């Protein structure tokens, strides 16, 4: 990690480069497509004024020439004189405007002209010798008289663009990475086993979606930790009861050996073995199984047949064709739901498979007492029993629906419970549209 820059720093540099390139293109377009043509036209106008002034000088009587010179200086910052300019020669760069002006004057004069710079009492002036009738005159003007400065404008706008681009890039980068920093802190807290505060699902759609996914993950981790605590507490409680009965049976065998104590111990061992088996099913529920082609009618008939042999009335109504899903996990889910329906709903059970939204919804419908609405969400927790006692015979182990939910989440299904009109419970397993292998 050493030597790596933050995302905000990298984004700031990238945005700055983009903004500077855009500024260069925009400035170049303004300078070369707008300012340079304007400078060339202004130079042509000024060159015409200078040539006209030189020509007028030769045509005026000598007595009126001083007044004409004063008027040129006041109105146009242009000095005309017959003597060569005095002062020390200077080297002053005035940009492309002076070159445009020199070219315009050369075209009008009919030969190449050049400017000289002389430092006088009023500063450095540009001077050029122009034809005036049968002689020549010197015309001068200060650098401030020069029109547009495109390269100076380019430099200033580029400098301002760089400063603004860097400031805007830093602001945008910080604004875009601030949610990621909050998410980083939340992830670190989650990694330490803490429960982080939920992230705000606002801002750009990508960040809002990412925050939503993280909140879901944090909720799942919190539920997993709670389920682990409940699971450990439930195991210790449910194993302690048969162990206590086995200890009592051993003491009774020492005092009065009878076959019923041995049978009692065998029953307790079977109960413990069944509990351990359900715990293994619960742990295997997180392993995703490969999908295969499944005939739902055949599967539901196979699940219903053992219950029919015990005298239960099982109606199978399949309106879906074959689908591609995880048959082993689906069999375990439906078998657990059927077991609950048989235990609590009596002998009148209906298995229904109907198409919904491109997928297939499988329902186990009974006419039992149903589940109180306030316990609909709690019944999926490990060791939660609607029936108040903790007897396996009357209330089950409390792991059946927890296994169902784990298997459904691992395979992308949705399991819901709802009380039926007229009494009873409907357990629905929603299989999404089958995907090609």
For the cut 80, the answer to whether the pLDDT of residue 226 exceeds it is no
- Percent of the chain at pLDDT above 70? 81
Span 103-129, pLDDT tens digits? 888 988 888 888 888 887 778 888 899
Q: Who wins on pLDDT, 255 or 325?
A: 325
Q: Are residues 315 and 424 in the same domain?
A: yes
Global pTM? 0.46
**pLDDT tens, residue by residue, 280-322:** 665 555 556 688 888 899 999 998 888 888 888 889 999 988 8
Q: Are residues 238 and 294 located together in one domain of the fold?
A: no
Phi-psi category of residue 88: left, alpha or beta, with phi > 0 → left and psi -120 to 50 → alpha: beta
Is the domain of 212 the same as that of 336? no
Do the strands 116-120 and 123-132 form a parallel or antiparallel pair, or are they unpaired?
antiparallel
Domain boundary residue among 228, 253, 284?
A: 284
Residue 370 placed within a domain: yes
Q: Packing angle between helix 327-345 and helix 296-309, nearest 10 degrees?
A: 40
Range of the domain at 342: 288-431
Query: The domain spanning residue 234 has which CATH number?
Result: 1.10.287
| Residues β-bridged to residue 430 | 361, 414
pLDDT of 362 > 90? The answer is yes
Is residue 204 domain-resident? yes
Residue 212 makes CB contacts below 8 A (sequence gap 6+) with: 201
Using CA atoms, how far apart are residues 208 and 183, in angstroms rounded to an integer? 11
For 384-426, how does the pLDDT look when each residue is reduced to its tens digit (9 = 90+)? Answer: 666 544 344 444 556 678 778 877 877 888 999 999 888 889 9
Please tell me whether residues 326 and 226 are part of one structural domain: no
Co-location of 276 and 293 in the same domain: no
Q: How far apart are CA 45 and CA 57, in angstroms?
A: 18
CATH of the domain at 93: 3.30.450.300
> Residue 387 has what pLDDT?
57
E strand intervals along 56-198: 79-81, 88-90, 116-120, 123-132, 135-141
DSSP conformation class of 333: H
Which residues on adjacent β-strands are paired with residue 75?
none
Q: Look at residue 304 and give its three-state secondary structure.
A: helix
Q: Is it the case that residue 169 has pLDDT exceeding 90?
A: no
Number of domains in the chain: 3
Asked if residue 51 belongs to a domain, the reply is: yes
Question: Is there a domain that residue 23 lies in?
Answer: yes
- Name the phi and psi angles at 278, rounded to 5: -70, -35
Q: Which residues contact 414 (CB under 8 A, 6 or more apart)?
A: 408, 428, 429, 430
Residue 250 within any structural domain of the chain:
yes
Residue 195: predicted pLDDT: 72
Rounded Cα gap, residues 56 and 68, in angstroms: 9
Question: Cα separation of 130 and 102, whole Å?
Answer: 11
């Amino acid at each position: 990690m050493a030597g790596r820059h933050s995302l905000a720093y990298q984004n700031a540099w990238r945005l700055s480069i983009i903004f500077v390139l855009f500024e260069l293109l925009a400035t170049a377009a303004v300078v070369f497509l707008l300012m340079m043509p304007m400078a060339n036209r202004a130079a042509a106008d000024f060159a015409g004024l200078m040539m006209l002034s030189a020509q007028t000088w030769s045509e005026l009587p000598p007595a009126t020439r001083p007044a004409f010179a004063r008027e040129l200086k006041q109105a146009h910052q242009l000095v005309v004189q017959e003597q060569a300019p005095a002062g020390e020669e200077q080297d002053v760069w005035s940009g492309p405007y002076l070159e445009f002006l020199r070219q315009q004057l050369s075209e009008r004069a009919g030969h190449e002209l050049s400017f000289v710079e002389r430092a006088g009492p009023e500063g450095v002036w540009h001077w050029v010798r122009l034809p005036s009738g049968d002689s020549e005159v010197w015309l001068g003007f200060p650098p401030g008289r020069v029109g547009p400065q495109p390269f100076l404008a380019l430099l200033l706008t580029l400098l301002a663009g760089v400063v603004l681009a860097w400031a805007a890039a830093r602001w945008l980068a910080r604004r875009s990475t601030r949610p990621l920093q909050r998410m980083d802190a939340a992830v670190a807290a989650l990694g330490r086993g803490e429960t982080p505060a939920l992230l705000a699902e606002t801002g750009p759609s990508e960040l809002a979606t990412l925050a939503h996914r993280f909140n879901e993950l944090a909720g799942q981790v919190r539920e997993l930790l709670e389920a682990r605590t409940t699971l450990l507490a439930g195991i210790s409680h449910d194993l302690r009861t048969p162990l206590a009965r086995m200890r009592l049976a051993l003491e009774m065998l020492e005092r009065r050996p009878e076959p019923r104590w041995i049978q009692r111990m065998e029953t307790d061992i079977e109960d413990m073995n069944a509990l351990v088996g359900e715990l293994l099913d619960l742990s295997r529920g997180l392993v995703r199984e490969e999908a295969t082609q499944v005939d739902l009618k055949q599967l539901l008939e196979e699940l219903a047949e053992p219950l029919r042999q015990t005298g239960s009335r099982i109606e199978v109504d399949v309106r879906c064709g074959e689908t591609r899903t995880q048959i082993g996990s689906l069999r375990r889910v439906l078998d657990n739901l059927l077991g609950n329906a048989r235990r609590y709903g009596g002998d009148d059970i209906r298995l229904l498979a109907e198409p919904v939204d491109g997928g297939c919804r499988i329902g186990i419908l009974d006419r039992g007492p149903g589940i109180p609405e306030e316990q609909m969400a709690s019944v999926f927790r490990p060791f939660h029993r609607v029936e108040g006692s903790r007897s396996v015979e009357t209330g089950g182990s409390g792991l059946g629906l927890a296994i169902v939910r784990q298997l459904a989440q691992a395979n992308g299904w949705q399991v819901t419970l709802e009380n039926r009109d007229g009494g009873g419970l409907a357990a629905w397993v929603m299989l999404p549209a089958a995907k090609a292998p």
